[in-house]
Amino acid sequence: MVAPLRLGIAGLGTVGAGVLRLLAAEPGLIAARAGRPILPVAVSARERNRNRDVDLSGLAWEDDPVALARREDVDVFVELIGGENGHARAAIEAAIAAGKDVVTANKALLAHHGQMLAEAAEARGRTIRFEAAVAGGIPVIKALGEGLAANRISRVMGVMNGTCNYILTRMEATGLPYATVFEEARGLGYLEADPRLDVDGIDAGHKLALLAALAFGTRVDFEAVDLEGIGRIAIEDIRHAADMGYRIKLLGVARMTESGLEQRMSPCLVPSGSPLGQLEGGTNMVVLEGSGVGQIVLRGPGAGGGPTASAVLADVIDLARGHRGAVFGQPATTLARAVPTPSAVPAPYYLRLGLRDRPGALAQVAAALGDAGVSIDRMRQREHQADVAPVLIVTHPTPPEAVADALGRIGRTGITVGETVSIRIEKV
């Protein structure tokens, strides 16, 4: 038998423990597929004596992940600490400097420092693999970077934050407002320690930035992702959207346009019957569109110890097989700097406004829309409550700037109460 591939694993949370559990469950199967045994030799974590329900006997312990990354007996450094700087970054830099391959689930770190780390690793003939960083157990990095490698990619879309999707589907199912469901999710431990990472779309934005780099051969540029969270989504909008055949999803879209790279992560309406529209709870979905293949849809668990460990070990097995590859699909030094561009692609929009009970009020709204060049596909006015009637509008495809113009004009009529809500309807 060939020599084993020896792992140093930093971070023994759900994912780290999941990796050890999966390796312990099927060592023979994994060795047969990898062509050599995969052997964890050393681990590191904050708390040594926490019960993790995995057998750590026979594994060396390092208090310092940097020391773990430098160990002579470690071939591949598996970083499962998390966080865009701190220990995770220091340990990965140490592993690269020591000439080791790295496998990580750390989207934040790669979204911020991916280019620099990829260049450093590739300069030493090493690589960083990150299947587990995007969409949990779905092998989307592999599908995009290898399976669709012959395609010019036109668009990448995805629902990639299970917590947000849980909150939105739970709001729909229960009729409870965002704040209540948010607290419920927090109580269930579904939210990151800093919940803004989830609900402000930051975590999903990190993932989108990584997919965009791979899809378009560009340097990862998280700063350019147009981010909007789910905090402003009202239960009324979820209900009205459902009535009109839509569901609201925190949807990421990356598209290469003539003016540059568009990256946005924001709540969108998608048709209820579409694959994205049917996504429940923590399930993730990624849609890939390429010149040869057309559209591919991948669906699976977006988080959790088992699925994420499956992705981590897929990378490890590839390394054991000698399949190294460039971090972002082509040498990092050849990745282009994309010109960030705001979305200018016309789309239908969902608008909700509160109309005062005045003669001619609706006509004023219609005129404001017309003046902004926005044409109406469908409109519904609901019964008045306390002098205000909700009006729901689905527009024909409209450039985003025309929608912004229309919202300004509507506001200036003075016949609406509160802010007019606008949510893009994404064609999927």
Catalytic machinery residues: 207
Nearest Cα to Cα of residue 53 among 95, 20, 75: 20
Starting at the edge strand found earlier in the chain, the sheet holding 101-104 runs: 60-61, 38-44, 5-10, 76-79, 101-104, 128-129
Given a contact cutoff of 8 angstroms between Cβ atoms, the answer to whether 80 and 186 are in contact is no
Give the C-alpha separation, 87 to 330, whole Å.
28
Contact set for its own copies, span 332-391 (CB under 8 A): 334
- Min CB(403)–its own copies separation in Å: 31
Cβ neighbours of 255 (radius 10 Å): 21
Amino acid at 413: T
Give the C-alpha separation, 95 to 102, whole Å.
7
Looking at beta carbons only, is 81 or 144 nearer to its own copies?
Answer: 144
- Min CB(257)–its own copies separation in Å: 17
- Min CB(115)–its own copies separation in Å: 16
Q: Which DSSP category does 239 fall into?
A: H
Q: Which of 125, 294, 359, 418 binds its own copies (CB under 8 A)?
A: 294
Given a contact cutoff of 8 angstroms between Cβ atoms, the answer to whether 361 and 415 are in contact is yes
Contact set for its own copies, span 205-264 (CB under 8 A): 217
Q: Which DSSP category does 282 fall into?
A: T
Contact set for its own copies, span 260-289 (CB under 8 A): 273, 275, 278
Looking at beta carbons only, is 19 or 171 nearer to its own copies?
Answer: 19
Give the C-alpha separation, 87 to 90, whole Å.
5
Looking at beta carbons only, is 271 or 399 nearer to its own copies?
Answer: 271
Q: How many chain residues touch its own copies (CB under 8 A)?
A: 61
Regarding 22 and contact with its own copies (CB under 8 A), the answer is yes
- Min CB(279)–its own copies separation in Å: 10
Give the C-alpha separation, 66 to 17, whole Å.
19
Give the C-alpha separation, 316 to 322, whole Å.
10
Q: Which of 180, 257, 330, 381 binds its own copies (CB under 8 A)?
A: 330
**What pairs with residue 104 in β-bridges?**
79
Given a contact cutoff of 8 angstroms between Cβ atoms, the answer to whether 212 and 112 are in contact is no
- Min CB(389)–its own copies separation in Å: 34
Contact set for its own copies, span 133-192 (CB under 8 A): 137-139, 142-143, 145-152
Give the C-alpha separation, 304 to 125, whole Å.
32
- Min CB(125)–its own copies separation in Å: 13
- Coil, helix or strand at residue 237: helix
Q: Which of 1, 3, 25, 386 binds its own copies (CB under 8 A)?
A: 25
Buried b (16+ CB within 10 A) or exposed e, 345-378: eebbbbbbbbbeeeeebeebbeebbeebebeeee
- Min CB(145)–its own copies separation in Å: 8
Given a contact cutoff of 8 angstroms between Cβ atoms, the answer to whether 115 and 334 are in contact is no
Looking at beta carbons only, is 49 or 334 nearer to its own copies?
Answer: 334
The binding track of 300-329 with respect to its own copies, each residue x by CB under 8 A or -, is xx--x-xx-xxx-xx-xxx--xxx-xx--x
Q: Which of 32, 173, 339, 404 binds its own copies (CB under 8 A)?
A: 32
Alpha helix (H) residue ranges in 78-195: 86-97, 107-123, 140-142, 162-174, 178-187
- Coil, helix or strand at residue 281: coil
- Min CB(172)–its own copies separation in Å: 16
Looking at beta carbons only, is 67 or 143 nearer to its own copies?
Answer: 143
Looking at beta carbons only, is 34 or 81 nearer to its own copies?
Answer: 34
Q: Which of 290, 348, 354, 390 binds its own copies (CB under 8 A)?
A: 290
Of 17-25, 57-65, 176-184, 376-384, the segment contacting its own copies by CB under 8 A is 17-25
Of 32-40, 88-96, 256-264, 390-398, the segment contacting its own copies by CB under 8 A is 32-40
Give the C-alpha separation, 33 to 50, whole Å.
32
Contact set for its own copies, span 389-428 (CB under 8 A): none
Residues forming contacts to its own copies in the complex (CB under 8 A) are 18, 22-23, 25-26, 29-30, 32-35, 131, 137-139, 142-143, 145-152, 217, 273, 275, 278, 290-301, 304, 306-307, 309-311, 313-314, 316-318, 321-323, 325-326, 329-331, 334
